[in-house]
Structure 1
Amino acid sequence: MKKVLIITYYWPPAGGPGVQRWLKFVKYLRDFNIEPVLFIPKNPNYPITDAAFLKEIPEGIKIIKQSIFEPYQLASFLSSKKTKRISSGIIQTKNQSFLEKILLWIRGNLFIPDARKYWIKPSVKSITKVLQEENIETIITTGPPHSIHLIGLALKERLGITWLADFRDPWTSIGYHKKLKLTRAAKKKHKFLEKRVLNIADTIVVTSPTTKREFEALTSQPISVITNGFDDQQIQEIKLDAAFTMVHIGSLLSGRNPENLWRILSELLVSNADFKKVFKLKLIGVVSEDVLESIYAHHLKPYVDLVGYVSHNTALQAQKKSQILLLTEINSKETQGIIPGKLFEYLAAKRPILAIGPKNWDVSAILEDTKAGKTFDYTEDVKLKKLLLEWFEAYKTSSLNIAATNINKYSRRELTRKLAELI
């Protein structure tokens, strides 16, 4: 059985989508004659945790831990709320305080590529020893944080080891990168490091076709698309919500704010008495203050159920119960290649998916292929309103269902098969 060393920052008990991709790969790699060894931080500063993920770690997996120094822990003395929000990717675009502006400038210009950079040097030293002791010839790095890729870069240059770099998100083209108040020198350094990683890694894995095209302009190294997916675990049938629920699960970041949807929902609540009696907008996860302000400005506050973060298992149950599943993405060219991990679990829930994001969004092709829902951009009104009314009429007769197809290729086990072929 071939051994590989997987270097990742996010690992249980970390919560959220960042941890799930490699937790699930590790879960199935042994099925394809590959033995994973994990290298993770000993004392990480995770913005959210979910202890339930600990139960999914396969028995007998070797896990090696290395201490990490994180500046976020020091910054939290100034403002734990603002620091936690920035570290989890929530960047307010309105009404930023002076402290938030300072923290963002420091994050973008002093911590390149990110605030976990101080883990690089001690990790390279420790991993060099681990590779010899475990007789491992292949390493995998996964980012963000992209400082993890710099560990792979150093090991590749020092030892000539085979290196696969997995990008769960893009690096310099991701939407929030522009919000970090970068100086010209900082931008140049980010670009330089990104290009070095892309040109020195033996294999690059990305999660969307758009990211693949972007990276192909920077490197001639082989790039494969392996999306996120859903687990094959069986979830018992759950009775649907009695209310006409529209459920969003996960972080609603600033910018993921489909005002055309809020406006249409507000119009329906005024014009349709039946709709008003049963509609509920359920938001499960962290919600940006900007987005909440926009929702409330459209008089939707009485219909909002603000749940907050829940365990992964609870989120899966909520998906199965919902009448409609809402997926949103920031309306910009930079986010066309962002395919939220929750999309694939939405597919597994087999409930109608309403997706609102940028034009030419990679999600559109997936929903069209699977027939699991509809995608709209931020300017569409008439067709969106018509669809919501169609779904509401179907709900009233208990016939709001979809017949999704071609979703098995997004199962975690099948995706791990693709990964194993690359390893």
Structure 2
Amino acid sequence: MRVLMISPYFPPLLSVGSLRAWSFAKGFADRGHCVHVLTTAKREDQRGLEVSDGRLTVHEIAVPKRLLLDHVRRSHAAPAGEHVPGEGGGGGILREVKERTGVFSSVRMPDMTDAWIGPATKAAEIAGPWDLVISSCGPYTAHLVALRLGSQRGRWIADYRDLWTTNHQFAGLYPFTLREKALERRVMAQADAATTVSEPLARRLHDAGARRVQVIYNGFFEHEPEEVDATGVFASDGRTRVVYTGTVYPKHQDVRPVLRAIAASPRLRECVRLVVAGQGMSHWLGEARRLGVEDVVEAMGLVSRPNALRLQRDADALLAIEYDGDYDGVLSGKIFEYLSASAPIVVTGPRGCVGDLVERVGRGSACVDDEALRRTLEGIVDGRGANQAARREHEIAFYTREKQADRLVDLGECLTGCQARAQAL
């Protein structure tokens, strides 16, 4: 069948969203389907995930420039590696508004890709018609292209990496929120199925009126598409490396428990080094300074994805921070990369879906208080691990990106009646 994947997030754009769309497109190609990808043309500063597959026909449609908006975007951009999500911009009006509302951030309306909807729809119509369309949000503009295709799109799966009008971080900007809600109601009414990354988010989509909802997890690659250097990344100095890779959101994720645990234990203070890589190094170092443990933090800043995988591979323990507040269901792509590593995972913060997943597959421990966290870290230093004896390889294997892509293909074949190789859903 002819399949169209609509996703502004696609290689060479370096992001978890690109990896999800990439694995989906490959999954359909692996089943012998004709796969086209509709995405945005990438600027040089957006590149970094250099993978390709000759079976995919990729249509890169440029985002028409709106000169004033493009000037504002560039002049109010945060310096690379210094921005701390959720802590305001500290130097740009647009950045402050983006932080509060999610506009111009691939999340809420308006967005820079609004101007892309028209030319993207035209390109899809010229290359169509399609038996199946998968639109991956965010940005929400992927869904709006699919919505405009109408009868040309055949069956339609609306994929939500993050939710749109009920987003866990951004409430949107009035009066655009009224337009967003009306458009999403149309998406829910017309899409044949919706997919998302966790059970709690699936329940929210069901409550929003989605006809059929299925969880397709982010997962980790069984066969890594990028080369990862086999050379060890840490010095052989006898230190225990606890590694955190990725973005931290200070409004919803508390970095202090692990720092307090280290500060409260002379043994941890001596033996542990907390290695953090990603955006927001100033936040980590500021909190460590306030607790008097700045010397134990090794701030790596932004690193390439292969180097992040090296850090995870060579870690003695991997740190995950649960999302705080009333919004459950935030499962980052990073936690699945952690599952494939060998080091035990330590989850801090309130009990939630991350801790549930980690303990269910026997990959580590959820520590909801400082004392439990201190004991767990001391056990790792002493070589006792963190619930590693219960590691369930069969359950972990369910979370490969290849397996999750297979499940999406099964759904697509079921919806279109092309079920020669579909499994029972």
Structure 1 and Structure 2 fold alike (TM over 0.5): yes
2:249 is equivalent to residue 258 of structure 1? no
1:393/1:376 Cα in 2 relative to 1: closer, same or farther (>3 Å)? same
Offset, 1:14? 1.2
Deviation at 1:33, TM superposition (A): 2.6
Counting matched residue pairs gives: 398
Instruction: Pick one of 164, 168, 180 that aligns with 1:190.
Output: 180
Confirm or deny: 8 A CA contact 1:75 1:83 kept in the other structure. no
Alpha-carbon shift at residue 90 of structure 1 (Å):
2.5
Separation in structure 2 between the aligned mates of residue 357 and residue 94 of structure 1, nearest angstrom: 26
Using the TM superposition, give the Cα deviation of residue 23 of structure 1 relative to its aligned residue in structure 2, in angstroms: 1.4
Query: 1:58 aligns to what?
Result: 53
Q: Tell me how far 1:257 sits from its aligned partner.
A: 2.3
Work out whether residues 322 and 350 of structure 2, in 8 Å CA contact, stay in contact via their aligned partners in 1.
yes
1:280 corresponds in structure 2 to 273
Is 1:365 the counterpart of 2:363 in the alignment? no
Most deviating of 10-19 and 216-225: 10-19
Within a 5 Å distance, the mapping from 1:287-326 to structure 2 comes to: 287=280, 289-326=282-319
Return the offset for 1:192. 2.5
Q: Distance in 1 between matches of 2:96 and 2:71?
A: 17
Structure 1 residue aligned with 2:189, among 190, 199, 207?
A: 199
* 1:7 aligned residue: 6
Q: What TM-score comes out, normalization by structure 1 length?
A: 0.84
Query: How far does residue 326 in structure 1 lie from its aligned partner after superposition?
Result: 0.9
CA distance in 1, matches of 2:79, 2:232: 39
Once residues 259 and 98 of structure 2 are traced to their aligned partners in structure 1, the CA distance between those partners, rounded to angstroms, is 32
C-alpha distance 36-296 of structure 1, shift in aligned 2 (>3 A): farther
- In the alignment, the residues of structure 2 paired with residue 103 and residue 228 of structure 1 have an alpha-carbon distance, to the nearest angstrom, of 26
What's the offset of the Cα at 1:414?
Answer: 1.3
The structure-2 alpha-carbon separation of the partners of 1:127 and 1:358, relative to structure 1 and needing over 3 Å to count, comes to: farther
Kept in 2: contact 1:254–1:291 (CA 8 A) = no
Q: Report the CA distance between 1:8 and its aligned residue.
A: 0.8
Structure-to-structure mapping, 1:98-109, within 5 angstroms: 100-102=95-97, 108=103
Bigger mean CA offset, 251-260 vs 366-375 = 251-260
> Which stretch of the first structure deviates more once superposed, 386-395 or 365-374?
386-395
Specify whether residues 94 and 308 from structure 1 end up closer, same or farther in structure 2 by C-alpha distance, changes over 3 A only. Answer: closer
Q: 2:25: which partner in 1?
A: 26
Map 1:7-406 onto structure 2 (within 5 A).
7-44=6-43, 49-50=47-48, 53-55=49-51, 57-69=52-64, 73-81=70-78, 90-93=85-88, 100-102=95-97, 108=103, 112-132=109-129, 136-156=130-150, 159=152, 161-178=154-171, 182-183=173-174, 185-233=175-223, 241=234, 242-255=238-251, 256-268=253-265, 271-272=266-267, 275-287=268-280, 289-334=282-327, 336-359=328-351, 361-377=352-368, 380-394=369-383, 402-403=388-389, 404-405=391-392, 406=395
1:49-74 Cα shifts (integer Å, max 9, x gaps): 32xx323x212421112110366632
Cα contact 2:13–2:42 (8 A) shared by 1: no
Residue 41 of structure 1: how far off its partner (Å): 1.0
> What is the identity, as a one-letter code, of the residue corresponding to 2:334?
K
Are the structure 2 counterparts of residues 155 and 113 from structure 1 closer, same or farther at C-alpha, using a change threshold of 3 Å?
farther
Q: Secondary structure of the residue that 2:388 maps to in structure 1?
A: coil
Deviates more, 1:139-148 or 1:255-264: 255-264
Does the Cα contact within 8 Å between 1:92 and 1:289 map onto a contact in 2? no
Measure the CA separation in 2 of the matches of 1:383 and 1:264: 9
| Structure-2 separation of matches of 1:339 and 1:107 | 19
Alignment TM-score, normalising by the size of structure 2: 0.84
Please say if residues 82 and 281 of structure 2, whose CA atoms lie closer than 8 Å, have aligned partners that are also in contact: no
Secondary structure at the aligned position of 1:195 is classed as: helix
Give the Cα separation in 2 of the matches to 1:236 and 1:400.
27
Distance 1:65 1:94 in 2: 31
In structure 1, C-alpha distance between the alignment counterparts of 2:196 and 2:292, rounded to whole Å: 40
Q: Is the 8 A contact 1:232 1:411 kept in 2?
A: yes
Range that drifts further, 61-70 or 282-291: 282-291
Relative to structure 2, which stretch is displaced further, 139-148 or 74-83?
A: 74-83
Tell me the CA shift for residue 99 of structure 1.
5.6
Assess if the C-alpha contact under 8 Å between 2:109 and 2:177 holds in 1. Answer: no
- Measure the CA separation in 1 of the matches of 2:292 and 2:142: 44
Q: C-alpha offsets along residues 118-138 of structure 1, whole Å, 9 cap, x if unaligned? A: 111221122111114xxx221
Q: Residues 257 and 49 (structure 1 numbering): CA distance in 2 closer, same or farther, change over 3 Å?
A: farther
Q: Alpha-carbon deviations, 1:267-319, whole Å to 9, x = none?
A: 12xx33xx333311111111264444223322222111111222222221211
- 1:146, distance to aligned residue in structure 2 (A): 1.2
Instruction: Summarize the Cα distance change of 1:160–1:304 in structure 2 as closer, same or farther, 3 Å threshold.
Output: closer
8 Å CA contact 2:364–2:386 kept in 1: the answer is no
Report what 2:398 is aligned to.
Answer: 409
| Distance in 2 (alpha carbons) for counterparts of 1:74 and 1:231 | 38
Seen in structure 2, the aligned counterparts of structure 1 residues 212 and 106 have a Cα distance that, compared at 3 Å, is: closer
